[in-house]
Amino acid sequence: MKTPTKAVIPVAGLGTRFLPATKAMPKEMLPLVDKPVIQYVVEESVRSGLTDILFVTGRDKYALENHFDSAEALESRLEEKGDDEKLALVQNPTHLGNIHYVRQGGAKGLGHAVLASRSFTGGEPFAVLLGDDVIEESSHLLERMIEVFVETQSSVVALVEVPMTEIHKYGSVKPAGQNGDVVSVSDFVEKPKAEVAPSNYAVIGRYILRPEILDIIETLEPGAGGEIQLTDALAIAARNPETSGGVVGVLFSGERYDAGDKLEYLKATIQLATKRDDLGADLLTWMKHFIADK
């Protein structure tokens, strides 16, 4: 199969964990320091060579579409003032890849959102990047996953090791062998209780999928939470490697944040701000005083 060049970014979820902030604003537009979460995700996609990008959107996601479109009035104002630095900040998102949109037609689950990409992906393998999952820039996770896809020709998921007490928040995989950072996967369970989880290897929001996965999703009934789950389709693919091409995991040990979770969002904001030349030193000094006073 050809090397993937297309990325699907589902952003149609309701973001209920972040209410009331997400009542009228997409959670993917929450800023991490001064850049919306979704821009980090799109930049990662483009950096990894996935320049054809499809957003699977829903109701009330106009702010997100506007962010990747030109803003004529603002741009002319900054041009008149000769403020090239701010002008570049406004224009940068417009030049990131070829962005396309499709509506999901109701937040019926991640599997359902991925299925909406069928005509865009057109029978090719493709990447899925969750619009609220931020991966540390220096980690090159997606590039590694593409490499593993090319080598194995199996669908690839990203895995992190989590404490068993946390596994109920994730999809968990049943490993069937491991070679370096590549794990063969024989089954998946979505959000299992610790007692029944097949391992503490948790699936995070990056996938390289063979096109057969879309046919599998089409056969699914709603699963956990009454939603069409991508994990359920991956489980069928992992159990039937002869027809689906199988599934492997890439074990990731770098930094990542689920920016749709309040605590993780705060950690991401602090981590990214402390790395900034313009903010890091002052923020760290303030944090040391703040902690010393607690």
134 contributes a contact to ligand UTP by CB under 6 A: no
State in angstroms the smallest separation of the CB of 245 from ligand UTP: 24
11 contributes a contact to ligand UTP by CB under 6 A: yes
Residue recorded with tokens 């040990």 = 253
Give the x-and-dash track for 22-61 against ligand UTP (CB under 6 A): ------x---------------------------x-----
State in angstroms the smallest separation of the CB of 37 from ligand UTP: 9
Alpha-carbon distance values, 208 to 51, 155, 205, 225 (Å)? 15, 6, 10, 24
Q: Which one, of 250, 217, 8, 4, lies nearest residue 125 by Cα?
A: 4
- Considering only 7, 8, 12, 185, the residue that binds ligand UTP (CB under 6 A) is 12
Q: Which one, of 130, 132, 125, lies nearest residue 110 by Cα?
A: 130
Q: What is the signed CA dihedral for 2, 235, 264, 39, rounded to 10 degrees?
A: 30
Residues 250-269 interacting with ligand UTP (rule: CB under 6 A): 260
Structure tokens at 34: 């001064």
- Between 90 and 107, name the residue whose CB sits nearer to ligand UTP: 107
Chain position whose Cβ is nearest to ligand UTP: 13
CA distance 242 to 10: 28
- The residue type found at 44 is E
The binding site for ligand UTP (CB under 6 A) comprises 10-18, 28, 56, 104, 107-110, 112-113, 130-132, 260
